[in-house]
């Protein structure tokens, strides 16, 4: 007598199958994914990409019952992402996690806000799979800056990334929507950055009077009111791009702290971390992560 077929649905993120008869989970997965190798299927199960009725299950011999729903996530980052607010996971493996952070979300806690941060949400996210899991912040983005952020999954990986940042990170590219028409198509800004007692950064041209900061920029498009620039960091100082755009005479849109005097035309800070290219801390493979330029930046600079 032929076996009954399982109900089967597939989309860009997952395969969803309704269980029709008793089976062990691994055996069931082999049948559902006949084109994958046995090791590949085992890896998917072991990485926590399989859910039974919305609960992650890793046991190969889990006893399936008729009526249960098995969801196979094509990307581990899709697990429970619906619970994340203000960020999207772009990549995840056993060592690192890369996100696209929205403007308005804090990277880490402050005295006033402890929970609605990228770090707090991601800590809860990884603990759903294992209560012992942790997340470590490698670098920060300002609250009102959007784009690529990198996190480590162990303290050892965090230290390796931070201690070797200059050699492991090959490119950090931002886009900045700035006020006015930038006449020079590309430029190079260097200064020494210092911080006031009120935590405002400022430039000094006196050698060694602060931390050396180097920024390259390239004009993408613009009009009489706004310019869209591609900005590459050679150093990663606090508020570096914002200070250097102020030095250029074209402050970042919405940046009252660093020289903006115009009405904020986009309702946010005009700064976005577009690209991060880096060598993986374990495999040494060169990896590139990108986050699309906000539509408002493009629209205002046309």
Alpha-carbon 105 to chain mean position: 12
142 is catalytic: yes
Instruction: Please give the average per-residue pLDDT across 21-45, as a whole number.
Output: 88
9, pLDDT greater than 50: yes
Neighbours of 274 (CB within 10 A): 22
Instruction: Please give the average per-residue pLDDT across 204-210, as a whole number.
Output: 95
Judged by DSSP in three states, 272 sits in strand
Instruction: Please give the average per-residue pLDDT across 175-187, as a whole number.
Output: 96
Residue 65's region, left for phi above 0, alpha for psi from -120 to 50, else beta, is beta
37 vs 157, higher pLDDT: 157
Closest to 240 (Cα-Cα) out of 198, 207, 278, 195 = 195
Instruction: Please give the average per-residue pLDDT across 113-140, as a whole number.
Output: 89
pLDDT of residue 4: 41
Angle, helices 38-46 vs 25-32, to 10°: value is: 120
HEC readout, 114-174: CCCEHHHHHHHHHHCCCCCCCCEECCCCCCCCEEEEEEECCHHHHHHHHHCHHHHEEEEEE
pLDDT of residue 2: 43
- Which range, 30-44, 83-97, 186-200, is most confident? 186-200
pLDDT of residue 12: 53
249, pLDDT greater than 70: yes
Specify the pTM: 0.74
The catalytic position among 54, 132, 142, 144 is 142
Instruction: Please give the average per-residue pLDDT across 204-212, as a whole number.
Output: 95
pLDDT of residue 30: 92
Pairwise CA distance, residues 153 & 129, whole Å: 13
240, pLDDT greater than 90: yes
Domains located in the chain, CATH noted: 8-75 (3.10.290.10), 80-163 (3.30.2350.10), 171-273 (3.30.2350.10)
């Amino acid at each position: 007598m032929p076996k009954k077929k399982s109900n089967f649905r597939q989309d860009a993120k997952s395969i969803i199958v309704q269980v029709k008869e008793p089976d062990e989970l691994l055996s069931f997965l082999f049948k559902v994914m006949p084109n994958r190798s046995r090791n590949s299927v085992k890896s998917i199960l072991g990485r926590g990409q399989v859910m039974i009725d919305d609960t992650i299950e890793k046991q190969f011999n889990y006893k399936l019952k008729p009526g249960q729903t098995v969801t196979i996530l094509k990307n581990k980052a899709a697990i429970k992402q619906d619970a994340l607010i203000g960020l999207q996971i772009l990549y995840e493996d056993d060592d690192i996690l890369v996100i696209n952070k929205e403007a308005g979300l804090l990277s880490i806690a402050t005295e006033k806000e402890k929970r609605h941060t990228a770090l707090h949400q991601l800590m809860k996210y990884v603990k759903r799979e294992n209560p012992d899991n942790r997340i470590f912040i490698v670098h920060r983005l300002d609250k009102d800056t959007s784009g690529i952020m990198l996190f480590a999954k162990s303290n050892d990986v965090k230290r390796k990334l931070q201690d070797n940042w200059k050699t492991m990170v090959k490119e950090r590219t931002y886009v900045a929507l700035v006020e006015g028409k930038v006449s020079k198509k590309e430029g190079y800004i260097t200064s020494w950055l210092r911080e006031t007692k009120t935590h405002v950064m400022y430039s000094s041209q006196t050698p060694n009077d602060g931390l050396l900061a180097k920024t390259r920029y390239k004009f993408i498009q613009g009009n009489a009111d706004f310019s869209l620039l591609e900005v590459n960091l050679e150093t990663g100082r606090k508020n570096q791009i914002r200070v250097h755009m102020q030095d250029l005479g074209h402050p970042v849109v919405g940046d009252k702290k660093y020289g903006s005097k115009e009405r904020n035309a986009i309702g946010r800070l005009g700064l976005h971390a577009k690209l991060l290219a880096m060598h993986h801390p374990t495999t040494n493979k060169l990896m590139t992560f990108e986050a699309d330029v906000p539509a408002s930046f493009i629209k205002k600079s046309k």
